[in-house]
Amino acid sequence: MSKLTGSKKATQFTESVIREMTRLNDLHGGVNLSQGFPDFPAPAAIKDAACGAISADVNQYAVTWGARPLREAVAREFTRRYGLPIVADEQVTVCCGSTEAMMSTMLAIIDPGDEVVVFEPFYENYGPDAILSGATPRYVTLHEPRWTFDPDELAAAFNEKTKAIIINTPNNPTGKVFTRAELEAIATLCRKWDAIAISDEIYEHIIYDGLQHIPIATIDGMAERTVTINGLSKTYSVTGWRVGWTISPPSLTGAIRKVHDFLTVGAAAPLQEAGAVALGLPDEYYAKLARDYQRRRDVLLDILERHHFTCYKPDGAYYIMTDIRSFGFRDDVEFARYLVKDVGVASVPGSSFYKTSTEGRTKVRFCFCKRDETLTEADRRLEKLVEVQSR
Ligand SMILES: Cc1ncc(COP(=O)(O)O)c(C=O)c1O
């Protein structure tokens, strides 16, 4: 057998479906409502801060676990918002996006054979993250319409091999915001089985209808067993900057920092400086961000419902999961391909968010982190989509 092949690990997962949809979209000149990145400008103040840092020659490696001003800003803001004291030097590690923060955390805490509980539908990176770190994933399904989990099913997923559970709130792709009662149920299991909560909170500020984000680290007894993951990408509309971080208990920080160091050395130094400025924006910035996204959510909900999608209204994040059964296609992939090629709108097939359940085959996801003109153009193109009944 030739050795000129990929590793066993690399053959266990496929190319990202989301990024493939973006490429298909570019090929067909479609409106891209698949990959979650804004098509509007980032705030001027933070772009100026980034240019300023480059001009001021902040152009060499930052401290590997993150420039002090950014680490201190992360610690300060978390403490200010949630009342949990965070020590930047002992708990904050800046990474190349929350993607690398998640990977470094998993590689730092997982041994082969360890189990990790993952809710599905899940953000598609968590599957490959589990494989690359050697974890055995145990999936627990969030059930529509409110994306709730069955507490018995969750309890049955934990055992003495459980090392961690991955939580994502506000959630991609469902828009679910975990309630305090749900987080307490998860926390009880983490304490019982001595497991770590890895909490991806990248949509922390994108939350609607007056709901509050609750970090699981603030639940009783969880500060010492939670790694909170976040980043600049979504809150400041700078997905291309690749700056994220972990907030970990001091007992785990050393392992995360070592893995991070040898994976990437560090995130872009001038963009970390600008990140510290971003975290200092006034509270009104965050209130407006949520207001603007809530309006876009309502615009896209109206568009999709007029075009006969069944929508699950999100409470947070910037995606809408839809049911496509009424269109009469074989499955989500066939529908998503048709939609991008023949209608000119890119979505993400629901099955890419599921591993064990077939529930994704009746769904596609759209994102609404887009300008009004983009959403209006999608509306226009969707006129071509006819319900199966009328075909
Ligand atoms: C839940 C979730 N986590 C992480 C990321 C990636 O974030 P970053 O740009 O910080 O790597 C995304 C991007 O879509 C996401 O939806």
Per residue in 288-336, pLDDT (tens digit) is 999 999 999 999 999 999 999 999 999 999 999 999 999 999 999 999 9
Residues in the chain: 391
| 16-to-22, 123, 157, 348, 385 alpha-carbon distances in Å | 10, 11, 26, 11, 26
Which tens digit of pLDDT belongs to each residue from 94-108? 999 999 999 999 999
How confident is the model over 224-247, as pLDDT tens digits?
999 999 999 999 999 999 999 999
pLDDT band of residue 12 (cuts 50, 70, 90) is confident
| pLDDT exceeds cutoff 80 at 387 | no
Confidence of residue 287 (pLDDT cuts 50, 70, 90): very high
Give residue-wise pLDDT tens across range 127-153.
889 989 999 999 999 999 999 999 999
User: Rg of the chain's alpha carbons, rounded to an integer?
Assistant: 21
Report the interhelical angle of 269-279 vs 44-55 (nearest 10°).
140
Q: Please, which pLDDT band fits residue 252 given cuts at 50, 70 and 90?
A: very high
pLDDT of residue 389: 44
Question: Six-digit token pair at 331?
Answer: 């499955």
pLDDT of residue 171: 98
Which strands sit side by side in the sheet containing 310-312, from one edge to the other? 310-312, 319-323, 363-367, 348-349
Half-sphere exposure of 38 (CA within 13 A, CB side): 20
- When pLDDT is averaged across residues 15-27 and rounded to a whole number, the result is 86
Ligand 1 pocket, 244 CB below 6 A? Answer: yes
| Per-residue model confidence (pLDDT) at position 60 | 97
With 80 as the cut, is the pLDDT of residue 390 above it? no
Q: Average the pLDDT over 149-174 and give the result.
A: 98
| Distance between CA atoms of residues 98 and 149, nearest Å | 25
What's the N-to-C CA distance of the chain in angstroms?
Answer: 51
75 CA from centroid of ligand 1 (Å): 20
Token pair for 381: 């193109």
- Judging by beta carbons within 10 Å of its beta carbon (0-12, 13-18, 19+), is residue 282 exposed, middle or buried? exposed
Q: Is the pLDDT of residue 13 over 50?
A: yes
Give the CB-side neighbour count of residue 271, counting CA atoms within 13 A: 18
Res. 163: pLDDT tops 60: yes
Substitution candidate for ligand 1 out of 94, 100, 198, 202 with most atoms within 8 A of CB: 202
Give the pLDDT score at 17: 81
**Per-residue pLDDT tens digits for 362-380:** 999 999 999 999 999 999 9
Q: What is the mean pLDDT of the chain?
A: 95
pLDDT tens, residue by residue, 69-96:
999 999 999 999 999 999 999 999 999 9
Ligand 1 neighbour 200 (Cβ under 6 A): yes
pLDDT of 386 strictly over 80: no
- Dihedral pair phi/psi, residue 9, rounded to 5°: -55, -45
Per-residue confidence (pLDDT) for residue 155, from 0 to 100:
98
Check if the beta carbon of residue 203 is closer than 8 Å to that of residue 367. no
Residue nearest to atom 14 of ligand 1 (CA): 36
**99 alpha carbon – ligand 1 mean position (Å):** 6
pLDDT band at 269 (very low <50, low <70, confident <90, very high): very high
Name 81's Cβ contacts closer than 8 Å, sequence gap at least 6: none
Using a 6 Å cutoff on CB, does residue 272 contact ligand 1? no
Please give the distance, rounded to the nearest whole angstrom, from the Cα atom of residue 98 to the centre of ligand 1: 6
Beta-carbon contacts of residue 135 (< 8 Å; ≥ 6 apart)? 106, 110, 114, 115, 116, 163, 164
Q: Name the band, by pLDDT with cuts 50, 70 and 90, for residue 188.
A: very high
The answer to pTM > 0.85 is yes
Give the pLDDT confidence of 55-65 residue by residue, as tens digits. Answer: 999 999 999 99
Whether pLDDT at 204 is above 80: yes
Using pLDDT thresholds of 50, 70 and 90, give the confidence band for residue 356. Answer: confident
**pLDDT, position 308:** 95
